[in-house]
Amino acid sequence: MENKQSSSPASFVDSTVVPGDVVLDLSSMTSQTIKLGGGLRQDCDAISAMKAGTLRFSKPNKYWIESSQKRYVPCVEDTILGIVVDSKADNFLIDIKGPAMGFLPVLAFEGGTRRNIPKFEILVESSHNSILFSMRLIGLYQLEVGTLLYLRVVKANFGMNPELSCTDASGKAAEFGPLKDGYMFETSTGLSRKLLSSPTCPVLEALGKKLSFEIAVGLNGRVWVNAASPDTIVVVANAIMNSESLSGAQQIIMVDHLLKNIQ
């Protein structure tokens, strides 16, 4: 374990760290507030890494560790794709690829009251076959088990099930809710973040120039694609899945290659 006595912060930023590395030494820094993001913990005067990944810094004072994994750790204000697994008295149980099921309150829809619980009647084909039940829930809440939803995380505390919502902070629907038709596939959390970064990810830009499709990216490692023809959906899905370890230029070459084959 490296333990530099007087380490300037710049030495570790943007380099790979493993759990146990002391990345910042507070005693050598002038008195300032720094904000620690995910993956870092404070041990009196030393800040050490808890996750393996790249240390990132953003002005003026934010440090965090970026890494990509298959499992999602819920975080407040993330937008994710969830699959309805069950419904209880006043919550739907949603699978979000995290350590615990998410709870979606029955009233967390735009204009939701006890009298107009939304009825979702379209069964969405999803690639998550292990929880695709074909039964239809009878009763007030006809949100089909297996429906794919675009959701926002409202509360995510350690040890509690995360609370989700189908509205934005002001109560409007704003694109949240069930996703009809299309195809959903799973990716790592790092790829989801890259797809959502701005400026637009090269693979999406290259695909968007030649094809027209609709896409929803969940930060929990799920991506949903919809287009007019199944061929387009398959090309887009394959291009995205291939692009994880490629650089920008390589992604554009890969997309050109794929599109040439189908034309």
Cβ atoms of 159 and 171 closer than 8 Å: no
Which residues fall within 8 angstroms of residue 223, CB to CB, at 6 or more apart?
A: 81, 184, 185, 186, 187, 192, 195, 215, 216, 217, 237, 240
Which residues fall within 8 angstroms of residue 136, CB to CB, at 6 or more apart?
A: 142, 144
Q: How far is the CB of 151 from another protein (least distance, A)?
A: 16
When binding is defined by CB under 8 A, the residue of 152, 163, 192, 232 that contacts another protein is 163
Q: How far is the CB of 165 from another protein (least distance, A)?
A: 13
Q: Does position 42 bind another protein by CB under 8 A? A: yes
When binding is defined by CB under 8 A, the residue of 10, 27, 31, 43 that contacts another protein is 43
Q: Does position 51 bind another protein by CB under 8 A? A: no
Cβ atoms of 242 and 256 closer than 8 Å: no
Q: Does position 89 bind another protein by CB under 8 A? A: no
Q: Which stretch binds another protein (CB under 8 A): 39-47, 74-82, 128-136, 176-184?
A: 39-47
Kindly report the length of the chain: 263
Cα separation values, 41 from 6, 34, 182, Å: 18, 12, 41
When binding is defined by CB under 8 A, the residue of 41, 62, 71, 136 that contacts another protein is 41
State residue 259 phi and psi, 5-degree precision: -70, -35
- Rounded Cα distance, 37 and 228, in Å: 41
Q: Does position 92 bind another protein by CB under 8 A? A: no
Cβ atoms of 34 and 61 closer than 8 Å: yes
Q: Which stretch binds another protein (CB under 8 A): 5-13, 42-50, 113-121, 198-206?
A: 42-50
Looking at this protein, which amino acid is placed at residue 93? L
Q: Are strands 53-58 and 22-25 parallel, antiparallel or unpaired?
A: unpaired
Cβ atoms of 178 and 151 closer than 8 Å: no
Residue 78 or 144 with smaller CB distance to another protein: 78
Residue 42 or 229 with smaller CB distance to another protein: 42
Residue 63 or 224 with smaller CB distance to another protein: 63
When binding is defined by CB under 8 A, the residue of 1, 30, 33, 44 that contacts another protein is 44
Q: Which stretch binds another protein (CB under 8 A): 137-145, 157-165, 186-194, 217-225?
A: 157-165
When binding is defined by CB under 8 A, the residue of 139, 159, 199, 230 that contacts another protein is 159
Write each residue from 103 to 122 as x if it is in contact with another protein (CB under 8 A), else as -, in one continuous string: x-------------------
Q: For binding to another protein (CB under 8 A), which residues are involved?
A: 41-44, 103, 155, 157, 159-161, 163
